[in-house]
Structure 1
Amino acid sequence: MAQFAVIGLGSFGATVALELVHLNHDVIGIDSIKKNVENIADQLTHAVIADASDEHVLQELNIQNCDAVVVAIGEDIEASILCVLHLKNMGAKRILAKAKSKAHHMILSHLGIQKIIHPEEDMGTRVAQSLSYPMVRRYMAINNNRYIVKIEIGANLRGAQFGDLMQRSEETDFQTLLLQRGSHVLYDIPPGTILQDKDILIVEGAVDVLRRLSTRFIKNYAAI
């Protein structure tokens, strides 16, 4: 379980926050508009009515200790920029920010924000999924509980045997559909297959299993 902060609880921010809660994470929701906070307060871990462009507010809430912060402030571009500046000065680990316009995007880019979002309402779920599954690049929902995900193998898994990796995962409610290596695709993957950088695994399974599997790939195999 990770802890996230969502600043700005309009339609996009609320979607991100609620999806993260659905994925069993702690979520702090912040908005200066009372109605936005009240609409979802009972579904969040913490909900605060506050001006997030005030650095003292962010410090009091210890936002810098969150695993990631989503700045989803809508119409007030100045407030968005001030909030991002404060978060960077406070040493926030990871910042994702919603851009209202091309000019807003350019300013956020100059501030060093790596993930800038141009949201449509249905993108909130996608952002939440990308935060919840650190190694997942794409996903497709089969139903409310099962997904097909695309997992990119990083340098930490170079040299790991496919069979050993899957057996050590201690998860059962998933299946690997294929392994893609460059232009080659393997549907029947030999257990002794040695994984390489940028290999792609397509995996299907229950949402909780996929989340644990993705996190475990990062934590448990960093030394391989």
Structure 2
Amino acid sequence: MKKNQYAVIGLGRFGSSLSKELIKLGYEVLGIDKDEEAVDEMSSELTHTVVADSTDEEVLKSLGVRNFDCAVVAIGDDIQASILTAIVLKDLGVKMVVAKALSELHGKVLNKIGVDRVIYPERDMGIRVAHQLVSPNLLDYIELSKDYTIVELSVPKRLCGLSIKELDPRAKYGCSVVAINKKNGVIIAPMATDVVNEKDVMVIIGTNDQIEEFEHEVIR
């Protein structure tokens, strides 16, 4: 089976970290940056690296970027280059174009030009860290939409031995436990009879209000 191929444009902190993780997960990655030093640093880490101006359509065409499964625009602080690169990628017909936004306005422009997914790494990380700081049992926090969130909550000692039926988050709070991560493995879609133990991790989905109420009433 053919491995998915990714082109990552912009090899700063975010782009290089993303590229290395994709390689670790077993995918092929082409790294592109106009900075020769950044490209040299990543040349031994990635499948291929190229020094190139990503706003030049002919250059990206010659690199065969249109044949990649996904192109990620991870350009650091040059908003104009980020937008122009995204436009070129869309014009070339790249299947999936993902772009990093530096601000809400930048993100709106990227959405307008048809970028398939806009990510806000600094903003999202800030939100996640803030939630983790104020909620000691909160291990991770991912906003699925403006209304829905998925969180990982560590089970405190006082809930040890309770079943999902006894906790009953769906009936009492409207949120659902979709998985329990235990020492010996993960239970996906747990049944009412499944029991939680101290330091298990519950993966819960619901609206922000539902999860906040469940966390406040049950976990803290």
Q: TM-score range by the shorter chain?
A: 0.5 to 0.7
1:177 is aligned to 2:187:
yes
Tell me which of 2, 22, 25 is aligned to 2:4.
2
Show the counterpart of 1:94: 96
Q: Hey, what's the Cα distance between the residues in 2 that align with 1:139 and 1:38? A: 38
TM-score, with length taken from structure 1: 0.56
Deviations 1:147-185 (A, max 9, x none): xxxxxxxxxxxxxxxxxxxxxxxxxxx9551316xxx75
Identity between Structure 1 and Structure 2 (%)? 41
- Tell me which amino acid in the other structure corresponds to 1:43: E
- Counterpart of 1:216 in structure 2 is none
Partner SS for 2:122: coil
Count of residues paired in the alignment: 140
CA contact (8 A) 1:98 1:116 kept: yes
Give the superposition deviation at 1:86.
0.7
- 2:44 equivalent among 42, 45, 50: 42
- Partners of 2:6 and 2:75 in 1: how far apart? 15
| Alignment root-mean-square deviation, CA | 2.7
Tell me the distance in 2 between the aligned counterparts of 1:13 and 1:186. 44
Q: Quickly say closer, same or farther: Cα 1:32–1:138, change in 2 above 3 A.
A: farther
Q: Give the structure, 1 or 2, with the largest relative contact order (CA under 8 Å, sep 6 or more).
A: 1
Matching residue of 1:67? 69
Contact residue 12 and residue 121 of structure 1 kept, 8 A: no
Instruction: Give the greater-gyration-radius structure (CA).
Output: 2
Residue 98 of structure 1 and its aligned partner are, at CA, apart by: 0.6
> Given the alignment, which residue of 67, 77, 87 partners 2:79?
77
SS in 2 for 1:52: coil
1:12 Cα offset (Å): 0.2
Show structure 1 runs of 5+ residues with no match: 124-136, 141-173, 189-201, 203-224
Q: Is there any run of 5+ residues in structure 2 with no aligned partner, and where?
A: 126-148, 153-183, 196-202, 204-220
- Relative distance call for 1:139 and 1:82 in structure 2 (3 A) is same
Cα separation, partners in 2 of 1:61 and 1:122, compared to 1, 3 Å: farther
Output the CA distance in 1 between the equivalents of 2:51 and 2:4. Answer: 22
Alignment match, 2:107: 105
Structure 1: distance between partners of 2:44 and 2:188: 41
